[in-house]
Structure 1
Amino acid sequence: MSWEDTFKIFLSALTAMGGASIIIFAMSSWLGKVWASRILERDRLKYTTVLEDLKTQNQISIDKLNSSLEAANLKLTIAYGGIFEKQSNAILELYSKLLELELGANPRSLTEAQKWNDYKDQIREAANFYHKQRILIPKSLDEKILKAIEEAHAILAESTSGHTPAEFAHRFSEAKNIALFEMRKLLSVTVYSEPA
């Protein structure tokens, strides 16, 4: 055997083995892809099921929390809704009483005894109502209403001399307007600027 024959045999054997290895490589590659896709599909189904279970559990938890929040909100609405309504009614009535005091603070009419006594009764009525409703009134408004009532008392006290200076009526009007500004804020009415 010559070198040429040996080389041909070796090349033939190598080719035969290479062809088989190419076939084996192709088959194992195909088989690997099939197994990988099956494993991926199985994992995808498994994790899809797990994910759906988690979504369901989370939705149940969210529904329970929403239900608890709605119940708590309803309790607060019932508990505080009445208080806010009472506060609003008290503020509206206090403003009405301040208006009556402003209208009754006419310097000319307070010189008559009956008008003076009527004004004194209006102040007493406003002060009594104010003291009964104070629990519902925030401190910032409380001080302003008290200041307006004190100004009404000053008008009454000054009018005993038979003369009420216009500045007393003006100070009362300013105190009333400052209280009105605070009332509007509390009642969520649009307030454009603070009174001077």
Structure 2
Amino acid sequence: MNLDDALNLFTAGLVSIGGGGLVVFALSSWLGKVWAGRILREETHQLSVQLETTKRDLDVFKEKAIRFQNDKIITYREITEIVAKLLAIMDREIGNSPVWQPIDGPLNEFNEQRLKLYGYLAMVAPQAVMDAHDDLIDHLLLTAIGEADYKWSEVREKVLFLLNVIREDIGIAKGPIVYKGKL
């Protein structure tokens, strides 16, 4: 065997090994892609199931939290109504209110309702709403006991101010509501 024969034999061996290696490499690459696709689909499915389970759990938690919050508000409202009724009775019977002497009739009803309203507002309203409410109610109380004159334009202005502060608090204020009538 001469050098050319040995070189040809060596080259033929390399070519045959390289060709087989190329076939093996191509098949292993294809098989790897198939396995990767299956694994990815399985992982995606598992993540989708986990995500759906988590979403359901969050929805249940949210519903429980909302129900709990609503139950608290209902309870607090009941407490407020009881306390308001008691304070109205005390104002009517004892007359220790800083605003008026013992009261009865429509003024007593107004007094009880304002006490309830104050409690309800205090549970949810920001200070700006409370301030506007206080301004209106104080004006109405002073008017009721004769220490302020009743002027519809002043009452309307205070009511509109309260409503505009409420609109701002709940996020629907696109500018203030203004009275454009003639009275």
TM bin, normalised by shorter chain, reads 0.5 to 0.7
Runs of 4+, deviation exceeding 6 Å: 82-85
Work out the CA distance in 1 between the residues paired with 2:136 and 2:106: 14
- The residue number in structure 2 matching 1:130 is 117
> What are the equivalent positions in structure 2 for 1:30-109 lying under 5 Å apart?
30-80=19-69
Q: Does 1:15 align with 2:1?
A: no
Tell me the TM-score normalised to structure 1 length.
Answer: 0.58
Give, as a single letter, the amino acid of the residue that structure 2 aligns with 1:54.
E
* Structure number with larger C-alpha Rg: 1
- CA RMSD for the aligned pairs? 3.5
Task: Check whether the contact 2:122–2:130 (CA below 8 A) recurs between aligned residues.
Answer: no
Q: Once the two structures are aligned, what percentage of the paired residues are identical?
A: 8
1:191 aligns with 2:173: yes
* Alpha carbons of structure 1 residues 126 and 177: separation in structure 2 relative to 1, 3 Å: farther
Comparing 67-76 with 39-48, greater Cα deviation is found at 39-48
> How does the TM-score come out when normalised to structure 2?
0.61
| Whole-angstrom CA distance in 1 between matches of 2:170 and 2:124 | 12
* Structure 1 gap ranges (5+): 1-11, 86-116
Alignment correspondent of 2:126 = 139
For this pair of structures, how many residues does the alignment match?
Answer: 149
Relative contact order, CA 8 A, sep 6+: which one is greater? 1
